[in-house]
Chain A
Amino acid sequence: MTEIPSTATQAGWMGCEYCGHLSPLGPATTCPRCGGTVERRKPASLSRTWALLLAAVILYIPANVLPIMRTSSLFGSSDDTILSGVVYFWHSGSPGLATLIFSVSILVPVFKMGILAVLALTVRFGWPLDRRQCVMLFHIIEFVGRWSMLDVFVVALMVGLVRFKSLAEIEAGPGAIAFGAVVALTMLATHSFDPRLIWDTPRRAHG
């Protein structure tokens, strides 16, 4: 497609987040086409991203340390954390599922929080990273974040299904909601981050 060699800001426009309608550059206003709020950049993008990200990092500790479910049966009770669930699948002959759960529950959240921190720091300090690749990383964390909810849904189903009074019961542990909160907070943090800031920041020269 044809590119006009400038940005909306340089040309004196700001685009609506919802419908794309262009309004003259200025303070936040209501989009005449769809009624949404039009802003040049997302408001307080960096501070909101950091606040939500920090909350997610803090909750990530109880999410992994506390049990996500407790199984009680005639033979006593046992607690499962996210990692012990992975180990269980690995030893019970489902290395594929173990890898899947390890990826979405442990790798994805860490990767996501790490990438978001790098992007926010890039904006803050003008790190000379490839901007196009930064946007690509942003697309990836936007896409994969939701899949981390997997373990929360598994716990919910186990709780609903395994209810055999004295014989066997499964309860959700406090780690499960902490984990759910981590996923929701990182999704909100990603949504608060405005990738246009990466392009706005003047970059320091190499070295």
Chain B
Amino acid sequence: MSRHLLTCPHCDALHRRPALRRGEKASCRRCGTVLLRQHRLTPEQVLALVVTALLVYVIANSFPIVNLQVQGLTNSTTLFGAVFALWDEGRQLMAVLVFATTQLFPLLDLAGMLALLLAVTRSGPRPSWFSPLLRFIQSLRPWGMTEVFMLGVVVSLVKLSGMAHILPGVALWAFAALTVLMAVILSFHPRQLWDEPRHD
């Protein structure tokens, strides 16, 4: 009986569980919260995007974001270089906050999604780590901030363009690509994976 029911996490209203097709979503009648979502893309397609995003992630974090030239002097930084500079000057807490939200959590999210999507696209019983990992990824989601960081890069460049000559680095384009990829991947709600595989 309870398998056919669905409750709204924001107002507790009880609904009959609808059968959704890809690209459809179901909203709560009482408060409007989205209850269920079937992403337009299949898990296999999202898996391909996750693999791409992991590669782009490596590029974005290995190369300088931007080169700065002031009166013949040049300086450049990777994202980790900025984190290290904060740590070095005694702002450890801030270094940890920036490292976690821009590097660690997005990486864990991508790596976790890779493992979960591989598990759902294979037949056979779910591995024992599936449920704990899926719950972990669901809790982690709000704390990865790649897109906010990308906006931060743009603001910094505008700010610095007044006082120095700026040469964009490889990682700048990689971060832009990563932001787009992450936007698509994050629109795939991990909650949907509880109901995979679908038979349609």
Residues of chain A touching chain B, judged by Cβ–Cβ distance below 8 Å, are: 1-4, 6-11, 13-15, 17-23, 33-36, 88-89, 92, 94, 97, 100-101, 131-132, 135-136, 138-139, 142, 146-147, 149-164, 167-168, 171-172, 176-177, 180, 184, 187, 191, 195-196, 198-200
Contact B145 A160 (CB under 8 A): no
Residues of A within 8 A of B10 (CB): 135, 138, 195-196
* Partner pick for A152 among B6, B97, B135, B194, CB 8 A cutoff: B97
Per-position binary interface string of chain B over residues 79-93, scored 1 when its CB falls under 8 Å from any chain A CB and 0 otherwise = 101111110010101
- Taking Cβ atoms with an 8 Å cutoff, the residues of B that contact A are 2, 5-7, 9-16, 18, 26, 29-33, 65-66, 68, 70-71, 73, 75-77, 79, 81-86, 89, 91, 93-94, 97-98, 101-102, 131-132, 134-135, 138, 142-143, 145, 148-149, 151-153, 155-156, 158-160, 162-163, 191, 194
Query: Can you list 5 A-B pairs, Cβ within 8 angstroms, ordered by A?
Result: A7-B13, A34-B131, A101-B155, A149-B152, A196-B10
A126 to B164, CA, bound (A): 57
Whether B97 contacts A159 by the Cβ 8 Å rule is no
Q: How many A-B pairs fall under 8 Å by CB?
A: 204
**Bound-state Cα–Cα, A15 to B194, Å:** 14
Q: Which residue of B lies closest to A176 (CB)?
A: B94
B188 smallest CB distance to A (angstroms): 16
A180 to B149, CA, bound (A): 13
Q: Which of B5, B131, B156 contacts A154 (CB 8 A)?
A: B156
Give which listed residue, B12, B91, B131, contacts A8 with CB less than 8 A.
B12
Question: In the bound complex, how far is the Cα of B11 from the Cα of A13, in angstroms?
Answer: 13
CB-defined contacts of A89 to chain B, threshold 8 Å: 158-159
Task: Please tell me if the beta carbons of B9 and A17 are within 8 angstroms of each other in the complex.
Answer: yes
